[in-house]
Structure 1
Amino acid sequence: MEKKTDTKMLLEFTDSYREQTFYRGGSFIRMDFSGIRGTDSYLDEMAREEILNRIRPYGAEGIHFFDSGNYHYMSRLFTGMIDEDYILVDFDHHTDMQIPAFGLELLSCGSWLRHALMEEPHLKKVLLIGPPAEMIRETAQDLTEEFGDRIVTIPEEEIGAAQAGESGPLMEKLRRLFTGNALPVYFSVDKDVFSVDILRTNWDQGILGEDLFFEILRICAGYEMRGGCSQTESEGANRRIIGMDVCGEFPAFAGGDAEAAEENDRMNGKLAELKLR
């Protein structure tokens, strides 16, 4: 099967998308994983093989929506299918570099990035955007010592400073990472990185605003990714985007929360319209 950058996938573990509309229109490949056991927050081996068998034909290309932050480990499955050197840009309010309570043998939503760094030879750089600086120090210290030249972090404090008009440190990190570096990029977006003023998720959240988020995407990609906008080139122009994944849905349970669903639906719609090239 030919892998396409415009592939759009909706992977449903729960009913979190029930009240949303962004995927309705026939262009999404939908997969129902709700009947697979061993998937909530932790992914056991049997579930991993079953899911991989279904997503492998599509590869990492395109954009993939896969439910709440409990399933962020899906990023590890998608990046594991990338067979070329690349940069991972991860937006998340958490580091996802923890050692799981059951050990590193079991992949979890809180450990997937650690697994990726330790297991993926093609992962040359990680740009982690959003966790508080103290959380980064506490959960990633051993990894930064071992993989220090592969990890670049933009903590929540630098996001706050940039949104207050002091964007120098943040922009300098982006400039150093992407100027003269032609490697393609894969984006992973956990929407808990956003301020609760924008949308709500099922985890504690950060402070990232919508304008700065799309500006960072533009700088990383080297062009304006939003649909309907001209592709204005910047530093690192013509960078290829392998794909993107999105999680962080608000649980829909019986009755749901119409306002939270609407907030997430609006953001998901904007992300689904991004022009990856």
Structure 2
Amino acid sequence: MQTARFNDMISCGCWIKVILDTNPYLRKVYIIGAKEESINAIPSQYRNRVKFYNETELFQEDRRNQFILENTDHPLYISIDKDILNATSAITNWDQGSLSLENLEKLLILILTKTRVIGVDVCGEYSEPANVFSAKRASFINSNTNKRLLTLVLSLKNMIHI
């Protein structure tokens, strides 16, 4: 939800704001796992189009059911940023979340089988070359996570409501 730092260059920090500003078909953005200070920094003109869940809310049955009910009329596009995951599941060199890959997979199974999904992407690669060993370790862990997420989505492709 940040403003682009370099002219019109779209980055991980501003793409949600850009899409909210430019895509008339986008109804709502759901963000899972944002930190409280990030949520409080959202400009007021976006508050009715952005909804937040903390990392554990969608594992509560009533919140999960509310999310599914809210998302039956319009298709969803899922963008997974690995910075929501704990350091065992993904390595990032910025904010690191606490969600396990196993819990993310459970959440994805629920969303992919109960709502209409039109696409999925995974982002959040380790981007800053610290030292060779840190970069290799991050690449290994993140590649395994990417493979697991891709395998999960592909295994459910016949169950996905498109």
The whole-number CA distance in structure 2 between the counterparts of 1:255 and 1:106 is 29
Cα offset, 1:177, TM superposition:
3.1
Partner AA of 2:62 in structure 1: E
Cα offset, 1:186, TM superposition:
0.9
The whole-number CA distance in structure 2 between the counterparts of 1:242 and 1:153 is 21
Residue of structure 2 equivalent to 1:134: 37
Residue of structure 2 equivalent to 1:213: 104
User: Contact (CA 8 Å) 1:190, 1:246: kept in 2 or not?
Assistant: yes
Residue of structure 2 equivalent to 1:193: 84
Partner AA of 1:265 in structure 2: S
**Which secondary structure does the structure 2 equivalent of 1:262 belong to?**
helix
Cα offset, 1:191, TM superposition:
0.7
Match of 1:149 among 32, 38, 48: 48
**Structure 2: gaps spanning 5 or more residues:** none
User: Contact (CA 8 Å) 1:174, 1:220: kept in 2 or not?
Assistant: no
The whole-number CA distance in structure 2 between the counterparts of 1:167 and 1:249 is 26
User: Contact (CA 8 Å) 1:202, 1:248: kept in 2 or not?
Assistant: no
User: Contact (CA 8 Å) 2:93, 2:128: kept in 1 or not?
Assistant: no
Does residue 78 of structure 2 align to residue 182 of structure 1?
A: no
Cα offset, 1:252, TM superposition:
8.2
Q: Given the superposition, is the C-alpha separation of residues 265 and 178 from structure 1 closer, same or farther in structure 2, using an over 3 Å criterion?
A: same
Residue of structure 1 equivalent to 2:141: 263
Q: Deviations over 1:145-175 (max 9, x none)?
A: 32333221013xxx2x56xxx943xx43432
The whole-number CA distance in structure 2 between the counterparts of 1:263 and 1:130 is 20
Residue of structure 2 equivalent to 1:122: 25
Which structure's relative contact order is higher, taking Cα pairs within 8 Å and 6+ residues apart? 1
User: Contact (CA 8 Å) 1:192, 1:204: kept in 2 or not?
Assistant: yes
Residue of structure 2 equivalent to 1:113: 16
TM-score, normalised via structure 2 length: 0.78
Q: Structure 1 runs of 4+ off > 6 angstroms?
A: none
TM-score, normalised via structure 1 length: 0.48
Counterparts of 1:1-40 in structure 2, within 5 Å, are none
Partner AA of 2:123 in structure 1: C
Counterparts of 1:85-104 in structure 2, within 5 Å, are 97-102=1-6
User: Contact (CA 8 Å) 2:105, 2:149: kept in 1 or not?
Assistant: no
Q: Given the superposition, is the C-alpha separation of residues 270 and 123 from structure 1 closer, same or farther in structure 2, using an over 3 Å criterion?
A: same
Residue of structure 1 equivalent to 2:125: 249
> Between Structure 1 and Structure 2, which shows a larger proportion of helix residues?
2
Q: How many residues align?
A: 152
Partner AA of 1:266 in structure 2: N
User: Contact (CA 8 Å) 1:194, 1:208: kept in 2 or not?
Assistant: yes
